[in-house]
Structure 1
């Protein structure tokens, strides 16, 4: 588990003068709730808020509900006046209710939310597509959930409880907020207690359906304007970009790891071994037909690879070179009912469905 620092400050540097910015508190937890609702990227870029003060069957209220681009539901609970242990217990209690919700109930929660807070009343499917540029499939809604507690601090005992739950594959995390003020302008800093990628993996790997990880990596390759499977097939690579959420999981891969590549809504198109670690796309070179080494920006006529973010290390496209063991065109993709699917660029699934998928693909492609 990766525990991140939760005590931090801000210093203003003006010439030779270095001065710490004063730490303050928000006027109310309601103010923080308002800020998060209006700017969910403060928590995560790939979350869409779908509910606020959502009433449960227990006549209690969840502060905020969100959905990510996997259809996972995120329970966001502000600590407020509750004790540390109370807010953890409450988050778990809410999760026991959220996991029972059907896609239609999730849509109803969203409809109630937008009718209360916004004039624009797009459907959940419309808003989801506008946010993520992918269609929201009913079967993916609420297949998993996460619990996120928002607090300014936690006692060490409660931190140990959260760490224990996370180690036990319960998808729970804490976001610590610190507020600073300079000349009447407020600054908010954020730190995760646990690497959010671990929480995401815990959510993906349902405890009810978990298996020991089989050592095989899943890759989702979004074949769209910003990347092309034709290029990946020809030159040997996988890639992701357009935001840290899409590219950072590539860093899980080491030379020699085996990856199974799925194009969402198309099927599995290849399996190969990693030949190099993740690098910015403009720093990766392939052999052209004339023997000259060129970047994908010089070679491709099929996709942009987020060229507009060349100078932006967070949103840039990142590439991992792969030696294909078996790869084919999209027309020959392998797709069957029961195959594992996920929107994460890279993940280490522990679901029984993943074990079945890999074993079946080995049969189809005659891979050992």
Structure 2
């Protein structure tokens, strides 16, 4: 890894280090960094517990427990310079323990976490906000559990086992965490190595074709397949136009997809009654980031042709800045997402809207990140 020196028009090599040489500890440091910044694992995750030991008849503890955007449980196991030999077996045990957790049990687990680490937050409401669902739609842990490993070095027996699990439709990801230093500055690189990001989407598609989903209705299956197809075609459209917004983002069964800029995400969203692009700030409990960018409201709006909506969302952790599809185009497309004949118009609007929105918002957002 290199640091770019613009003044000299050159690069300076960073020194690759070991965590132990930097006196970085697994639970005290790496685990806390991931808990506070789960987006470093390449997706929206909601941490609901750490050092979880609520398993019957065992004193074992899993490092981090999270919920993904599909309401599924994600077991996150962290190691430092070496995974050790038994990390896969350990994680599989935790996944099996978590497989029986009900929605009410998960809410209770999350509430105990919030009671310990946050102030007067409601677990169920946080889950509803994160999943963007109504109360009667909340169903957690309905699919197989996922496993994420984070370590600097992976032993051959670990990678071999992980690849075997992937071939048998067990969802496992491996991230390499590498520390670097230059003088007194220390840097951290986190990159997914198994499966490689460029092959993950293909693997998911292949697994979906082979696996019969047992507990979902035909409508839900069709809806999820349509979403993956929509985002895949949209990504291809972006690639054709040499726009790199989603190059490292996999097509998923979600109603929004986007790319991170610091603690926020620029996203393309399929709403229930509208389509929009937005700057979404997921963890803005004290509204520090929103208030900071809102102070530049006039500057942003003066450089943008359209109506920007500023949502502080005082009763929620998140906040957002959004641009909705104008009514004249929305009237043409409303309710037509299920019909692929309209996708081309929607792709064109998304691309134009995000490019204009990003040009207006991002320069101000980058200044805000330096100010806060």
1:99-136 CA deviation, whole Å, 9 max, x = no partner? 11011111111111112222x23222322344454446
TM-score (norm 1): 0.56
Q: 1:65 to 1:71 in 2, by over 3 A?
A: same
TM-score (norm 2): 0.55
SS at match of 1:100: coil
Query: Which structure 1 segments of 5+ residues have no match?
Result: 1-8, 222-242, 251-261, 284-294, 298-304, 314-368
Partner of 1:146: 146
Partner of 1:89: 89
Aligned residues of 1:10 and 1:21 also touching (Cα < 8 A) = yes
Partner of 2:357: 308
- Determine which structure has greater relative contact order: mean sequence separation of CA pairs < 8 Å that are 6+ residues apart, divided by chain length: 1
Give 1 or 2: higher helix fraction: 2
Q: Say how many residue pairs are matched.
A: 251
Aligned residues of 1:115 and 1:121 also touching (Cα < 8 A) = yes
Instruction: Check if 1:127 corresponds to 2:126.
Output: yes
Aligned residues of 1:111 and 1:121 also touching (Cα < 8 A) = no
Partner of 2:330: none
Deviation at 1:278, TM superposition (A): 10
Query: Which structure 2 segments of 5+ residues have no match?
Result: 216-220, 229-244, 253-269, 274-333, 363-372
Q: 1:206 to 1:122 in 2, by over 3 A?
A: farther
Q: Residues 314-329 of structure 1: matches in 2 within 5 Å? A: none
Q: Residues 1-368 of structure 1: matches in 2 within 5 Å? A: 9-14=1-6, 15-26=8-19, 27-30=24-27, 31-55=29-53, 56-57=55-56, 58-79=58-79, 83-118=83-118, 120-135=119-134, 137-193=137-193, 194=195, 195=197, 197=201, 209=213, 218-220=225-227, 244=246, 248-249=250-251, 270-272=338-340, 281=349, 283=351, 297=353, 308-309=357-358
1:198-220 CA deviation, whole Å, 9 max, x = no partner? 68769989968479xx9997234
Q: 1:311 to 1:116 in 2, by over 3 A?
A: same
Deviation at 1:88, TM superposition (A): 0.8
Deviation at 1:147, TM superposition (A): 0.3
